[in-house]
Chains A and B, each alone.
Chain A
Amino acid sequence: MAKRVLVKGNEAICMGALAAGCKFYFGYPITPQNDIPEYMSAHMPEVGGTFIQAESEVASINMLLGAAATGARAMTSSSSPGISLKQEGISYLCGSEVPGVVVNMSRSGPGLGGIHPSQGDYFQSTRGGGHGDYRVLVLAPSTAQENYDLTMLAFDLADKYRNPVMILGDALIGNIKEPVELKPYRRKIKPKDWALTGAHRRPRRIVKSLFLADGELTDHNWRLYKKYQRMAKETRFENYRADDAKLVLVAFGSVGRILKTSVDMLREKGLAVGLLRPITVYPFPHQAVQEAAERTGHLMVVELNTGQMVEDVRLAVEGRAPVDFYGRPPGSIPTPNELAKEVAKVWRKRGLQ
């Protein structure tokens, strides 16, 4: 068995990144993700990599663009207000098809908001966030182990699709400490035949997002569109006691794991509830949600916001089943007992037995 260490969620992200061969990190401090630049500043030099605390979030995302354009594995991280500042760069990464990993240990907003956990950045993460018609793969871990595993996966997916991949956590996922099994990274990193490595004895390569010739941008956008369609096969989710459930809950990240305990509590009282936890929120697990709707006819979404992912669930369900929602704005973390009560209310309202 691989080595087990007790680490913070934020540190687990760094360990996954370094294991996956990340050689460049650019960041700017903001709570609740400061453990990431702190860890990277200490450990990046040990692997011969480069750590830079940039002068701003805008600078750090553009440094990522530059480093990744040379073919290196690179990462940046921030939290909600900082991620807003990075949106222009994320759009440029998508437009010029440069891979990179962007971590958002989100906090509460809008504006400067606060440092509480929140899932208020769901729309921004899954709908693009910057300008233009683009998509970003978004992974939503719920444990320190998943932080480690999914960060390694994020680098692979970024390279595979030549697209930025976002890791969407929150203050809870970043700050909890849990044992993490440091599984070694064994996949081979393929050479990049598009990267800017100096055009010595080979034709020149161009990485850009500006296309002015007649029809060029149309073709480029169609090609990107087809790529985003292909990403659908990366869909991942966890099915927690949902197979024989009469009411299926849908929740991601921190709330997803809190709900697992609520599901156990309700099961003990004889309420057949289960949970679908999207691990990729883009691509969203439409099919799994649709099947659950057809099988049970009863869905409920729980989020740490006033209603964002519930829209994706309703899109997936296409009216096949009513979708209830319980949301909570930032300021407190719901406990499993509180959520169990809300689920039980829906159970009774729908006359389930």
Chain B
Amino acid sequence: MYFDVIFAGFGGQGVMLMGNMLSVAGMHAGKQITYMPVYGVEMRGGTANCTVVVSDRPVGSPVVHEPVCAVVMNRPSAEKFAPRVLKKGMVLVNASLVDPKYVKARTKKVIYVPCLELATEVGNPRLGNMIMLGALCQASGVLDVEQVVKALPKALDQRYHKMIPINTEALRRGGRFVAEL
């Protein structure tokens, strides 16, 4: 088994947390993992992306040229990463912010997830990243949504543990959205 994904968006959208969460959950599922962050010197407002490789074998390159999957949370990320996704891969687009006309991909498998709307429905508009991570798991099968849910206490700092129930709900909502497509 081999899977890689680039998560990209604005700093503050929780792009790095998505990558981290997938990595922690993958490790606990017994996989080999490499997580590589790339960001500017800004804390918020700049662009950020990270690459996660999940594999049964030791990971060679942490750098991926043509990813199996890209998760794009804003327009600059969509323009930069969607065209690089493999023809047999998939792109997940944050439909709340990205107009489909900016998404040009070789793959036919482009999934639009209304992250903001679904997160608001769950009860907190800031959980768009968790909606998306749930959608990614469901769409790609890299991990089960429940495996990520199980890893939440390990991936989140103690002081955020009161947020676990709502994060769980957001992950499941994202997964359900894709399952019902």
Q: Mark B133-153, 1 if CB is under 8 A from A, else 0.
A: 000000000000000000000
CB distance from B104 to the nearest CB of A (A): 20
Chain A residues with CB under 8 A of B63: 172, 258, 333-336
B61→A338 contact, CB < 8 A: no
Nearest chain A CB to B20's CB is how many angstroms away? 7
Cβ of A140 to closest chain B Cβ, rounded Å: 16
Interface residues in A88-131 by Cβ distance below 8 A to B read 115
Question: Contact between A260 and B33 (Cβ–Cβ < 8 Å)?
Answer: no
The answer to whether B66 touches A337, judged by C-beta atoms less than 8 angstroms apart, is yes
Query: Is B32 a contact partner of A179 (Cβ separation < 8 A)?
Result: yes
Which residues of B have CB within 8 Å of A335? 61, 63-65
- Known contacts A4-B27, A177-B20, A177-B35: does B65 contact A338 (CB below 8 Å)? yes
A-side interface mostly: helix
Contact A179 B65 (CB under 8 A): no
Cross-interface CB contact of B61 among A4, A6, A177, A336, cutoff 8 Å: A336
Interface residues of A, count at CB 8 A: 22
Residues of A within 8 A of B34 (CB): 176-178
B125 within 8 A of A: no
**Residue in B20, B33, B65 whose CB lies within 8 Å of A336:** B65
Q: Which of A176, A333, A338 has the most CB of B within 10 A?
A: A176
CB distance from A207 to the nearest CB of B (A): 42
Tell me which of A175, A178, A334 has the highest count of chain B C-beta atoms within 10 A of its own C-beta. Answer: A178
Contact string against A for B residues 53-88, beta-carbon threshold 8 Å, 1 for contact and 0 otherwise: 000000111111110000000000000000000000
Q: Which of A115, A176, A334 contacts B36 (CB 8 A)?
A: A176
Among B35, B37, B61, B65, contact of A178 (Cβ-Cβ < 8 Å): B35
Q: In the bound complex, what is the Cα–Cα distance between A261 and B51 (angstroms)? A: 15
| B-contacting residues, A313-353, CB 8 Å | 333-338
**Which residues of A have CB within 8 Å of B64?**
335-336
Bound-complex Cα distance A179 to B63 (A): 17
Closest-CB distance, B133 to chain A (whole angstroms): 16
Q: Is the CB of A172 within 8 A of B62?
A: yes
B27 and A257 form a contact (CB under 8 A): no
Cβ–Cβ < 8 Å partners of A177 in chain B: 20, 23, 33-37
Is B48 an interface residue, CB under 8 A from the partner? no
Residues of the A chain whose Cβ atoms lie less than 8 Å from the Cβ of B116: none
A259→B61 CA distance, assembly (Å): 7
Decide yes or no: A337 and B65 within 8 Å by CB, A176-B35, A176-B36, A177-B35 being known contacts: yes
In the A-B complex, the 5 residue pairs with the closest CB atoms: A335-B65, A261-B60, A260-B60, A261-B61, A177-B35
With A176-B35, A178-B34, A334-B63 already in contact, 10 other A-B pairs whose C-beta atoms are closer than 8 Å: A4-B27, A6-B20, A115-B41, A177-B20, A177-B35, A257-B60, A261-B60, A335-B65, A336-B61, A338-B65
